[in-house]
Amino acid sequence: MISACKTASAKRVTAVIPCYPYARQDKKDKSRAPITAKLVANLLTVAGADHVITMDLHASQIQGFFDIPVDNLFSEPSMVTYIKQEVPDWKNAIIVSPDAGGAKRAVALADQLNLDFALINRKRRRDLSASMTVPTVPPTPAGSESGSHPDSDEEASATDKMELLVGDVHGRVAILVDDMIDTGHTVGLAAGVLKDSGAKQVYALISHGLLSETTMENLKDLPVEKLIVTNSIDQTDRVKACGGMLGFIDIAPLIAESIRRTHNGESISALFKHDYF
- In angstroms and rounded to an integer, the radius of gyration of the C-alpha atoms of the chain is 19
Other beta carbons within 10 Å of 172: 21
- Residues 30-43 have pLDDT tens digits of 889 999 999 999 99
- Residues 188-205 have pLDDT tens digits of 999 999 999 999 999 999
pLDDT at 47 over 50: yes
Pairing of β 94-97 and β 116-124: parallel
pLDDT at 266 over 50: yes
What domains lie within the chain, and their CATH numbers? 2-74+253-267 (3.40.50.2020), 76-250 (3.40.50.2020)
Q: How far apart are CA 36 and CA 65, in angstroms?
A: 11
What is the arithmetic mean of pLDDT over 92-118? 92
What is the arithmetic mean of pLDDT over 213-233? 89
On whether the CB atoms of residues 96 and 176 are closer than 8 A, the answer is yes
Identify each DSSP E strand in the chain by its residue range: 14-17, 51-55, 70-73, 94-97, 116-124, 159-166, 173-181, 201-209, 226-230, 246-249
- Give the pLDDT confidence score for residue 124 in this predicted structure: 63
pLDDT at 136 over 60: no
